[in-house]
């Protein structure tokens, strides 16, 4: 009888192809500036280039890599390019990539402590490690009543916080019988859209999210918040949740955390703080002030996958009272029962998130923290802020451009003097050039160009080149588009 074919990749082939793949990634980073930052393909172009059906017989790994080069790479927008200044960064680093590789290789499903104790306990310790460097309150530490967990994104963190707030207010009744439509939540008009989405998912209703007006710096107006809470209470509604943002997506505005926190303490509202990208800056002592007032928070999150060189996805989420989160999310069927869980001596992180399953995200964050150390991370954060100030100086010195919002850290909102059409054309032509990628927002109903400095490999030369491109493009377009507002 002939020997049956084994379709698995052999250990020998895995070593060979794995080394080739690492070389490919290293080469990619060395040549990344050769690519246009923004993919130039048209909708449907990549799909049309792919085979119509899955292959019946397996293919040679070399052919797979060739397909990657020929078909996939043209459709990639290069988020790791030092000329990527759009959105907020999703930066990566060698240690993080290797940590993620190890996580994939181990293939752990860390839903329970018992399914891999190291997966849970490393995560707990890494989240505790970050409390002191970031200047976060002791109540978030796992040795107290609180604790931290890694979510995939700040969107999941805010949903979990909202669910915990909902159940704390209802005495866990909403989980059993559903909501009554009376619970309301608050944020600013500049808060990330994930909270509005979470209101729908949580069954509270998007109409029950109060988006409060902002001040001249695009931060939440505390007086308006106080007024709206009082109005809702008078109408027989139940305020349950407030979200403040440290560094809004549109303009990097900083909500007045301490003032909001005092109101939440007075009214017994769940107070969640979204540190998004900007929370990373607090690892530098001179930016600890960003966390003034965080002592009022019931929950806090920030994303190492934005500005702490830990590739997507990795969002740190802390709660002051872990029992409120666990009680809202825990379901324990018979097939998950085990001695460790029943002892109450361990964390089962499945109870701290929406999904059951979870991967070993803590490895890559652990690798980053150990490889860079706190001082290495501080160096790069400070460097990015210095580069931001370099560009701000050039904008302020140019009579054709205006800053539109304060730039406390690494995001600049600016526009060319003139109408929205001109500004949009400037941005579009820059992006179409392939030399840079920028995105926009609207502030005070005006089109504003955003420029974020946060990609791991961005240096002074890239900032200077970006400004040359911006001014040259604007100069050429000024003759084609009217400047009237």
Comparing CA positions, the residue from 156, 451, 121, 196 lying closest to residue 313 is: 156
Judge whether residue 218 has pLDDT over 70. yes
What pLDDT was estimated at residue 4? 63
Report the C-alpha gap between 153 and 330 in whole angstroms: 20
List the single range of 110-114, 151-155, 186-190 with lowest mean pLDDT: 110-114
What pLDDT was estimated at residue 402? 95
List the single range of 140-149, 153-162, 166-175, 472-481 with lowest mean pLDDT: 472-481
Pairing of strands 299-302, 270-274: parallel
Q: Which CATH number fits domain 108-359: 3.30.360.10, 3.40.640.10, 3.40.50.300, 3.40.50.720?
A: 3.40.640.10
Judge whether residue 2 has pLDDT over 60. no
Judge whether residue 414 has pLDDT over 90. yes
List the single range of 315-324, 344-353, 462-471 with lowest mean pLDDT: 344-353
Report the C-alpha gap between 316 and 311 in whole angstroms: 13
Judge whether residue 485 has pLDDT over 50. no
What pLDDT was estimated at residue 89? 93
Judge whether residue 35 has pLDDT over 60. yes
pLDDT confidence tier of residue 1, bands split at 50, 70 and 90: very low
Judge whether residue 284 has pLDDT over 90. yes
pTM score of the predicted model: 0.93
What pLDDT was estimated at residue 3? 58
298: Cα separation from own chain's centroid: 20
Pairing of strands 315-319, 401-403: unpaired
Mean pLDDT of 299-318: 96
Pairing of strands 238-245, 299-302: unpaired
For domain 9-38+77-91+376-485, the CATH class is: alpha beta
Pairing of strands 315-319, 147-151: antiparallel
Reading the block at residue 400, the tokens are 């054709």
Q: Where does the chain hold its CATH 3.40.640.10 domain(s)?
A: 108-359
Mean pLDDT of 83-106: 95
């Amino acid at each position: 009888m002939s020997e049956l074919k084994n379709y698995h990749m052999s250990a020998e082939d895995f070593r060979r192809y794995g080394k080739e793949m690492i070389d490919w990634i290293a080469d990619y980073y060395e040549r990344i500036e050769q690519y246009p930052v923004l993919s130039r393909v048209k909708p449907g172009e990549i799909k049309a280039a792919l085979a119509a059906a899955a292959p019946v017989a397996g293919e040679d790994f070399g052919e797979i890599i060739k397909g990657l080069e020929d078909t996939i790479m043209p459709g990639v927008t290069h988020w790791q390019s030092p000329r990527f200044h759009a959105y907020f960064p999703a930066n990566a680093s060698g240690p993080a990539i290797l940590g993620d590789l190890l996580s994939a290789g181990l293939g752990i499903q860390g839903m329970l402590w018992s399914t891999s104790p190291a997966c849970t306990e490393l995560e707990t310790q890494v989240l505790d490690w970050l409390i002191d460097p970031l200047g976060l309150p002791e109540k978030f530490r796992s040795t107290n009543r609180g604790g931290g967990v890694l979510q995939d994104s700040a969107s999941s963190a805010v949903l979990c916080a909202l669910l915990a707030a909902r159940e704390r207010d209802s005495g866990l009744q909403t989980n059993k019988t559903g909501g009554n439509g009376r619970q309301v939540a608050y944020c600013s008009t500049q808060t990330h859209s994930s909270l509005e989405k979470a209101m729908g998912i949580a069954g509270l209703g998007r109409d029950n999210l109060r988006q409060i007006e902002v001040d001249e710096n695009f931060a939440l107006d505390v007086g308006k918040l106080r007024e709206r809470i009082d109005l809702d209470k008078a109408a027989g509604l139940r305020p349950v949740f407030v979200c403040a943002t440290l560094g809004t997506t549109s303009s990097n505005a900083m909500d007045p955390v301490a003032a909001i926190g005092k109101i939440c303490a007075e009214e017994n509202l769940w107070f969640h703080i979204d540190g998004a990208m900007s929370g990373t800056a607090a690892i530098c002592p001179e930016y600890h002030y960003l966390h003034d007032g965080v002592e009022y928070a019931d929950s806090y999150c920030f994303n190492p996958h934005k500005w702490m060189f830990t590739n997507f996805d990795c969002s740190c989420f802390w709660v002051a009272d872990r029992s409120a989160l666990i009680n809202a999310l825990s379901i324990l069927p018979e097939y998950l029962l085990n001695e460790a869980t029943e002892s109450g001596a361990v964390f089962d992180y499945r109870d701290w998130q929406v999904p059951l399953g979870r991967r070993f995200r803590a490895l890559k964050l652990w690798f980053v923290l150990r490889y860079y150390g706190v001082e290495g991370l501080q160096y790069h954060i400070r460097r990015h802020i210095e580069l931001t100030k370099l560009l701000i100086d050039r904008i302020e010195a140019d009579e054709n451009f205006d800053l539109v919002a304060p730039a406390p850290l690494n995001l600049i909102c600016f526009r060319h003097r003139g109408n929205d059409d001109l500004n949009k054309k400037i941005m579009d032509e820059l992006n179409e050039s392939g030399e840079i990628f920028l995105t926009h927002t609207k502030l005070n109903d005006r089109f504003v160009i955003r420029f974020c400095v946060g990609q791991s490999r961005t240096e002074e030369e890239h900032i200077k080149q970006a400004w040359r491109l911006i001014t040259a493009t604007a100069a050429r377009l000024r003759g084609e588009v009217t400047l009237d507002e």
